[in-house]
Chain A
Amino acid sequence: MEDKILLAHGSGGKLAHELIEKSFVKALANPFLAKLDDSAVIDLSGRLAFTTDSYVVSPIFFPGGDIGKLAVCGTVNDLAMSGAKPLYLSLSFIIEEGLPRAELDQIVDSTRKAAQEAGVQIVTGDTKVVHRGSADKLFINTAGVGVIPEGIDISGSNARPGDKVILSGTIGDHGIAVLSQREGLSFSTRLESDCAPLGNLVAEMLAASPNIRCLRDPTRGGLATSLNELAKQSKVGIRIEDEKIPVREEVLAACEMLGFDPLYVANEGKLVAIVPAGDADKVLGAMRRNRYGKSAAIIGEVTGEHPGRVVMKTVLGASRIVDMLVGDLLPRIC
């Protein structure tokens, strides 16, 4: 067996078949993939949630995860944020020739583990190999489907004045963990990416209250950008309190050194929920019982004032605007 991926692995010929059999079908073992047909055929009923995403993170291995885990978690989380139970995923690999086979196998194994934890199946996929320099090691494109349970209506436009804003945990862990590995910027930190599938957390929150209005995972652009999106979509104002937002000391220190604001740094295993005030404590309790919501906190509320804008109470008791991220803080973080 070749120890590196060659252009021929993407040719559709023998090497390609060997790669698909050995590296994908065997590792991800499920009846849909095993059939090796052109499409996966699935029986589904109910309201379908359907999403797609591409992953180009650099480096492809980072503390707390790799591009494979990230691809599965990111897709699962996009489905979960519409209240859906994530079910089936596709994975498409665009590989730069020369990628060590061992690295590919390790990444495929990460997707397997993440899919298993999230309770989803990878039912279809594709592999392409491109010339050296035409991609950077590995890009992954995904699609995912899930089914939204009866009685659940979650949308970024549902927030109402008086609702509470809940954050599931510390912000900025993913962005800073990835950044710490970048060439030319390496600084040592014990910090790990928070990359995690949030389907179960969302299911437990919905069991606590089916009235959750909005869910969003603050990935690129960070918490600030997600809150701005929600305020604009719902045409409401959002007020948050600086002191209520959990941030690790390591993230604060790295942000200080690099000139970033943690509010804009990417997360891959966090969510922000907008919940009717009366249900907030129930939802918060459910979140804190889940391993991915242990440090969940109510960080603010929705207001009828300043629609479309997010305002933060600072530690000094003053107020300031929290705007959307402008430009790219850190390219290729996911």
Chain B
Amino acid sequence: MKFISEFRRSELAEGLISQIHRQSKTPVRLMEFCGGHTVTIFRYGIRQVLPQTIDMVSGPGCPICVTANADLDKAIALSQIPGVIIATFGDMLKVPGSRSSLQKVKANGADVRTVYSTMDALKIAEADSNKSVVFLGIGFETTAPTIAASVLQAEEKEIRNYYVLSLHKLCPPVIQAILDSGEVKLDGLICPGHVSAIIGSHPWEFIARDYGIPCVVSGFEPLDILQCVDMLVAQIEKGESKVEIAYRRGVRPEGNQQALKLMEQVFEPCPARWRGMGEVPDSGLKLRQEYQRFDAELAFDIALSPAYEPAGCICGDILRGVKTPLDCRLFGKACTPQYPVGPCMVSSEGACSAYYLYGGDFGG
């Protein structure tokens, strides 16, 4: 089986699209939590082929976008400490903090290196024991296990110059915060595929049970999303609310036990700051006491000035699903992918970037 082209076949899509049109009677609003889903939805023009009854809204599922400026400033401040090498995934470079970006400090001489895996960051630390390597731990439950693995390996190999700035975020608590705020009324949730591959589908049960909102875990191909929307509409029309998986090839209800074990061994939940949402309890991860010597925040004296958000940027509102990029007066004018003002325009999974790149007058 071809795992990509099979899920992009137009004849199968046509069948699903007409079934959704036949089924959908009640006007509903569905949120795709994940930025990867937002990209698929725009790249394939999924909003255009859905019936008028279905309103789609993008959620906060872009780890870079939800990282608060105060936390970005921490990473930038760390890069200014002599002897510190910042290791990060490439997407982070362009994201503007309060005053600068990693890309700018790198051009000015800071040692910032793009890596594709945490193990590469570990190799940098091993190769240069006089320097301190700080890995920027930004991501959801998807990336946290690999970072946990790197910490365990650093301990095993006695690598003493490897640190993690843990800015990890957890998905279910933030959805709860959005629902509790009552700002946006949702009738169905497209649950993230990769996050659920780790945590499974059980952690979404409370949304179906306590809030009465149907949840379906989706993959990232256009047919996955259409199937997911079809299943959500079916639940809504039948008056049901349960958790289902439309991404069986990637997600099991119990998740990936091995990855979860790693994550729990190294990290414990803590409050975390989210852009646009402020502090959300138990929505972040910090290193457990046994592993605190790897914690960059404890190891270094980080000098911070007060953080501020760029004037006019509504990324925070967009991440809560309260506004869309088209509501922003900077969108496409002062804020473009070349000259981004807010993180949702920088990240390849950001809603503003997806609207800008694929939307314009034709998509959306």
Contacts and interface: CB of A to CB of B under 8 A. Distances in A.
Interface string B106-118: 0000000001110
Interface in A142-194: 184-185
Nearest to B123: A184
Given A249-B5, A314-B44, A327-B94, A319 B10 contact: no
Given A243-B10, A252-B4, A184 B363 contact: no
A320 B10 contact: no
Interface in B1-22: 2-5, 8-10, 13-14, 17
B299 interface: no
Interface string A191-224: 0000000000000000000000000000000000
Interface stretch (B131-139, B234-242, B283-291, B353-361): B353-361
A315 interface: yes
Contact of A318 (B4, B44, B357, B361): B44
Interface in A237-289: 243, 249, 252-253, 256, 259, 261
B49 interface: yes
A1 interface: no
A274 B338 CA distance: 29
A318 B359 CA distance: 11
B48 interface: yes
Interface string A299-334: 000000010010100111111110100110000000
Given A252-B5, A321-B360, A321-B363, A315 B338 contact: no
A317 B8 contact: no
Interface string B322-362: 00000000000000111000000000100000001111111
A327 B13 contact: no
A323 B43 CA distance: 11
Given A184-B117, A252-B5, A316 B10 contact: yes
A240 to B, nearest CB: 13
A259 B222 contact: no
Nearest to A309: B360
Which range contains the number of A residues in contact with the other chain?
20 to 34
Contacts of A259: 348
B222 A319 contact: no
A25 B65 CA distance: 56
B148 to A, nearest CB: 20
Given A252-B4, A259-B348, A261-B43, A319 B116 contact: no
Interface of A: 184-185, 243, 249, 252-253, 256, 259, 261, 306, 309, 311, 314-321, 323, 326-327
30 contacts: A184-B116, A184-B120, A249-B4, A252-B4, A253-B4, A306-B361, A306-B362, A315-B222, A316-B10, A316-B13, A316-B17, A316-B44, A316-B48, A316-B226, A317-B13, A317-B49, A318-B46, A318-B48, A318-B363, A319-B48, A319-B362, A320-B42, A320-B362, A321-B358, A321-B363, A326-B336, A326-B357, A327-B94, A327-B337, A327-B338
